[in-house]
Structure 1
């Protein structure tokens, strides 16, 4: 499978949709496209420079979450490869294949539309630079090794051994919009969240708090945040241009 581009999809419950879109538009330094879809349920967060890689969706059922779209030449052929690696098909509609990874994480295979230019990090007032650049899958510990090998195969990355490892970062490629990271967790259900690379983590945290986010936990190089509706994400001390 040749993955041409990656899109992080924010799935928001209807009651939170407007507030969530406003927050993530501000945090990412994006504009919002006109809504689309039969019920105007989709929109794109348009970066200042580069091709879009963040999208939002209003969902009618459940708490929402996040999923990853893999842009490929032929979704039908890619579906067969993903199935051979252990994924299962949820639905096929309008050229979009919705699947679940071996650990149960949702992802979609969609047609590639020539996206190729990565968004640039944003320089904020005060001099800090940041960008949303990772989608992190948290998977149950028992499924960690299988999930790493699954995503490594899809993204064309040799993951290596996983014993004793708590996180594996894949596909740090200049041609792709996002890096996929698989993280071991004690939770029983797989989930996903975004991570932001920032040159000045304290300033970035303060900016997010100004938009209504709250700090959940701190470590030496990462601050876990909750957005105004409780969605978790991370601000990390990494180079926004290289991801390192």
Structure 2
């Protein structure tokens, strides 16, 4: 893929109505992680649910939420995406035709998949409400709005094609080689950035990025809340949150003309 592509035609029942960006954290670290992300995003932890209160939502001051929290029983945690659609079975069949692998399902409302490069994501049944209010950005100084997929070189073409065709969103290559984005524009608060890794092969991994009006100020704020700076780059800063999850602060404007 080169340059930019416009939206693909996606069958109505498989069209993405809303996207949820999940922060997955081992149970032992969940409360500490949730408190940190609530503080640095300015969003309240609400709607605790599940048999062991293992799920929660981060609620913004206005507009629809798009960030969710999950305490996981094993592994190191990480991030994943839930894509709300009207017909999960139609959307899942389409995803498999595009190269995804089905991992499992939860009843008739959730299908768990791996992308061609191995990134876990879910197709979930849209409740008809999420996305109705949108997500106003006026006045924001920072916003957690991006899932960055770290893609080995051998997976690059397949992973870019998959996400562009699955979502039907516009795909655009960056001016800097090895970066591309998939975005629905202002209609959706979450965008997907793909970046190549130094390695040739392996599984696609993910982390979250924040858009910042003043990166230095936000870096200081994250550090005060318990984060550790790993690396400073010309356009972004790499940090670890208090439980060891990588995230980046970028110079992208939080209220862009999208």
1:178 paired residue number: 190
Tell me, what secondary structure is at the counterpart of 1:33? strand
CA separation of 1:67/1:102 partners in 2, compared to 1, >3 Å: closer, same or farther?
Answer: same
Match of 2:180 in 1: 168
Length, aligned pairs only:
239
| Offset at residue 34 of structure 1 (A) | 3.3
Instruction: Rate the CA distance shift 1:173–1:159 in 2: closer, same or farther, 3 A.
Output: closer
CA RMSD of aligned residues (A): 1.9
Q: TM-score when scaled to structure 2?
A: 0.87
Shift in CA distance, 199/166, structure 1 to aligned 2, threshold 3 Å: same
**Is 2:230 the counterpart of 1:231?**
no
Aligned residue number for residue 142 of structure 1: 154
- How far is the alpha carbon of 1:110 from its aligned partner? 0.5
Alpha-carbon separation, structure 1, partners of 2:21 and 2:79 = 7
Distance 1:11 1:145, change over 3 A: same
Q: Which runs of 4+ in 1 moved over 4 A?
A: none
In structure 1, runs of 5+ residues without a counterpart are none
TM-score normalised to the size of structure 1?
0.92
Q: Does residue 80 in structure 1 map to residue 93 in structure 2?
A: yes
After TM superposition, the structure 1 = structure 2 runs for residues 112-127 of structure 1, keeping only pairs within 5 Å, are 112-113=126-127, 114-116=129-131, 117-121=133-137
Look up the match of 1:22.
35
For the 8 Å contact 1:32–1:44, the answer to whether it is kept is yes
CA distance 1:147–1:171, change in 2 (3 Å): same
Cα pair distance change 1:46/1:92, threshold 3 Å: same
Contact residue 173 and residue 180 of structure 2 kept, 8 A: no
CA contact (8 A) 2:138 2:255 kept: no
2:10 matched residue in structure 1: none
Q: CA deviation at 1:172?
A: 4.1
Query: Aligned equivalents of 2:227 and 2:173: distance in 1?
Result: 36
Residues 243 and 225 of structure 1: is their aligned pair in 2 closer, same or farther, counting only changes over 3 Å? farther
Match of 2:73 among 54, 60, 74: 60
Give me the whole-angstrom Cα distance separating, in 1, the residues matched to 2:119 and 2:106.
19
Give SS of 2:32's match: helix
Q: Would the aligned equivalents of 2:172 and 2:180 in 1 still touch at CA under 8 Å? A: no
Q: Give the direction of change, closer, same or farther, for the CA distance of 1:229–1:161 in structure 2 (3 Å limit).
A: closer
Residue number in structure 2 paired with 1:203: 217
